[in-house]
Amino acid sequence: ERGIVNRERDNRKKAAILYDLLDNSRVFKPYVADKDHRSMMNVCFTAATPELEQQFMTLAERNNITGIAGHRTAGGFRVSIYNAITIDAVATLADLMHHFERTA
């Protein structure tokens, strides 16, 4: 579907998938806790430890999920969910994060 209303709906859905996971995770935490100040385009988060961050990055890369590394000095992850990224792609990432959390 096209149109700005549909794009906004889809973008909100993509952000909700990730932020709902982050808000309920024991491994991953969003950089911004205040829900009113979160980005709908760039979801930034960390893992509980640097070791878990590295393990998840390795798992993501093995599953062809790339380009999610956070800032080079701050670490963590930055997932850009611009218009071209599908809801299915975000759901795939969320599924991998859930799997990682269950096995970490």
Question: pTM for the full model?
Answer: 0.91
* Residue 44, pLDDT score: 95
- Position 67: which residue type? G
Q: Would you state the pLDDT for residue 1?
A: 55
- pLDDT tens for the 104 residues of the chain, in order: 568 889 999 999 999 999 999 999 999 999 988 999 999 999 999 999 999 999 999 999 999 999 999 988 878 999 999 999 999 999 999 999 999 999 98
